[in-house]
Amino acid sequence: MVEACPIVVRRWVGSEFATMRNRSHNPSRTEAAKRVDKSPAALGHVESGRNFPAVNKIEVLLTYYGHQSRAGYFASLVERAKNRRHWWDEFPGELLPEWYELFLGFETSAVWMFVYSTQLVPELLQTTDYAEAVLRAAGPGSPDDEIATRLELRNRRRREVLDREEPCVLRCVIDEAALHREAGGPAVLREQLRRLAELTRRPNIEIRVLSSAAGAPASPDGGFTLMTMPPELEGHPGAAFVGTVVEGAFFEKAQQVDIFRDKSDRLWEQALTSEHSRAFIDDLAAGPD
């Protein structure tokens, strides 16, 4: 069974605790903190997802919030998560800013994922040579050892998400333009297209091509990733991620996630069918007659 990463559990528990406090008979953080002999700042660190709550204080807090019936669930959830490690802890910290660690947590925890990619083949589906070309274009002058580590990190992501015992179900819509962009040159692109053609035959991966003939896309503002969390996070709305040139932006409120879900549904219908997309990619990979 897929279990959520500790960083995702902390964030979810903190958000739920903050919501319950704000909706309680007395939403004062100061008063709630007194109940567990903590400072308001310490409780704030829990609610922001920075720290786990102390397991032996969960029932006290939730009783005060009027949700004692949920105390056992949260105590068990926190206890399990505290005993897990993040697989990326072995990688250099300078390559893992806080926002990227959170993205890795969501991605690794996801049981279902939708990716809309407008410029390039999605990272989880990239070959090593294609990924290297993308990384060198994004960071010209980067040392070879840094590029090698980033490639190792990307390959590990794929294994942790798509090649695990219970792999994530992945749906991708790739803009046709991305399939013509020669990242690394024609030979590298050809190899990448062949890899995509192979991946379309995996049961947990479905790829559709948004052809240029489809007109304006349902998401004209660019690509995004939508992720559904495992059942152990009861009631979690999922999360959407949008990358920028500076850092990633996360959308975790139910109303926000619903907007991305609607866009993903419309993009999915707007793209070629899965069968036609497979034939389209096969033709591109085969090259001109």
- Whether the predicted pLDDT of 14 surpasses 80: yes
Instruction: Locate 248 and state its tokens.
Output: 């990633």
For domain 96-286, the CATH architecture is 2-Layer Sandwich (3.30)
Task: Report the C-alpha dihedral over residues 12, 13, 18, 19, rounded to 10 degrees.
Answer: 70
| pLDDT value, residue 1 | 83
| pLDDT value, residue 226 | 98
- Domain ranges in the chain are 6-82, 96-286
- Comparing CA positions, the residue from 6, 5, 65, 18 lying closest to residue 253 is 18
- Whether the predicted pLDDT of 288 surpasses 80: no
In contact, 179 and 122? CB cutoff 8 Å: no
- Whether the predicted pLDDT of 235 surpasses 90: yes
Whole-angstrom Cα distance, residue 157 to residue 147?
15
Q: Which residues, 6 or more positions from 137, have their beta carbon under 8 angstroms from its beta carbon?
A: 183
Instruction: Locate 46 and state its tokens.
Output: 């829990």
In contact, 83 and 45? CB cutoff 8 Å: no
Q: What is the mean pLDDT of residues 212-218?
A: 89
114-142 residue pLDDT tens: 999 999 999 999 999 999 999 999 999 99
Please give the mean pLDDT across all residues of the chain.
95
CATH placement of domain 6-82: 1.10.260.40
60-114 residue pLDDT tens: 999 999 999 999 999 999 999 998 999 999 999 999 999 999 999 999 999 999 9
Pairing type for strands 112-117 and 239-243 reads unpaired
| pLDDT value, residue 220 | 84
